[in-house]
């Protein structure tokens, strides 16, 4: 049976990066369609009418929305290669917990670091670092959150590495100084082609953030 896979994406989106990594890990060929989020395509509005957001994974004409759900879908449909979620139900639940934690904390707090100032930014930075340290504790001495191999939490979390430089520059702090084990993990992930080819350059993302700050009048 022929598989038609299309990804509606936007290059700096960490949520889109998850799809790129997961599909690469599974060896799935797909067509990527870059969206202009200021002028959303009819296809995006048709495939995700509720949220009207990227990424959207379209598999044989059927849309799957929301990146955590999409990664699980990819893992279930193409389960014969590079399993991302553990086979044990309890370990699977733990992986989903930490993926959900990273998903909520990184996105919300990261945005506050670059988009706010003063006390609000300071509080966001403090909670962001605390969240990273909790994730670092969960990683422990394992090479990956998935153990010996890249897993679900790794795929969900590592895209934010491409935003770390922007957070550091906007928030005036060093993630490497705070969480050296976590940075070593990120660099280990980047040794995998599925990750390195899916994540944009950190300075390019920082340039994008500066454009957004200017557009929103944040100086």
Going along the chain from its start, the domains and CATH numbers come out as 5-78 (3.40.30.10), 89-216 (1.20.1050.10)
Instruction: Show the tokens assigned to 101.
Output: 């934690």
Please give the pLDDT value at position 218. Answer: 87
C-alpha 85/C-alpha 152 separation (Å) is 5
DSSP state of 218: -
pLDDT tens per residue across span 198-212: 999 999 999 999 999
C-alpha 14/C-alpha 10 separation (Å) is 9
Please give the pLDDT value at position 1. Answer: 52
Segment (H or E) for 191: none
Neighbour tally for 48: CB within 10 Å: 20
List of residues 6+ apart from 26 with CB closer than 8 A: 74, 75, 78, 81, 82
DSSP state of 82: S
pLDDT per residue rounded down to tens, the chain (219 residues): 568 999 999 999 999 999 999 999 999 999 999 999 999 999 999 999 999 999 999 999 999 999 999 999 999 999 999 999 999 999 999 999 999 999 999 999 999 999 999 999 999 999 999 999 999 999 999 999 999 999 999 999 999 999 999 999 999 999 999 999 999 999 999 999 999 999 999 999 999 999 999 998 987
Instruction: Show the tokens assigned to 18.
Output: 């998850």
Return the SS3 of 10. coil
Instruction: Show the tokens assigned to 139.
Output: 């990683």
List of residues 6+ apart from 19 with CB closer than 8 A: 7, 9, 55, 57, 67, 70, 71, 74
Q: Quick one: which of 4, 52, 36, 14 has its CA closest to 44?
A: 52
Return the SS3 of 107. helix
List of residues 6+ apart from 137 with CB closer than 8 A: none
Determine contact, residues 70/55, Cβ cutoff 8 Å. yes
Going across the sheet that includes 56-59, the strands are 31-34, 5-9, 56-59, 62-65
């Amino acid at each position: 049976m022929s598989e038609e896979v299309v990804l509606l994406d936007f290059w700096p989106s960490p949520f889109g990066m998850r799809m790129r990594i997961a599909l690469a890990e599974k060896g799935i060929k797909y067509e990527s369609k870059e969206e202009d989020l200021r002028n959303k395509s009819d296809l995006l509005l048709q495939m995700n009418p509720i949220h009207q957001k990227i990424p959207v994974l379209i598999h044989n004409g059927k849309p799957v929305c929301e990146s955590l759900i999409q990664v699980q879908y990819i893992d279930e449909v193409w389960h014969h290669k590079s399993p991302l979620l553990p086979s044990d139900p309890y370990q699977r639940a733990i992986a989903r917990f930490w993926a959900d934690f990273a998903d909520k904390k990184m996105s919300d707090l990261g945005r506050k670091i670059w988009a706010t100032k003063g006390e609000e930014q300071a509080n966001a930075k403090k909670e962001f670092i605390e969240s990273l340290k909790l994730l670092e504790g969960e990683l422990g001495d394992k090479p990956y959150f998935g153990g010996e191999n890249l897993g679900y939490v790794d795929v969900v979390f590592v895209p934010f590495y491409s935003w770390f430089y922007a957070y550091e520059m906007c928030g005036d702090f060093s993630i490497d100084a705070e969480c050296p084990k976590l940075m070593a993990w990120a660099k280990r992930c980047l040794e995998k082609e599925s990750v390195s080819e899916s994540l944009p350059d950190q300075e390019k993302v920082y340039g994008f953030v500066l454009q957004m700050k200017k557009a929103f009048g944040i100086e």
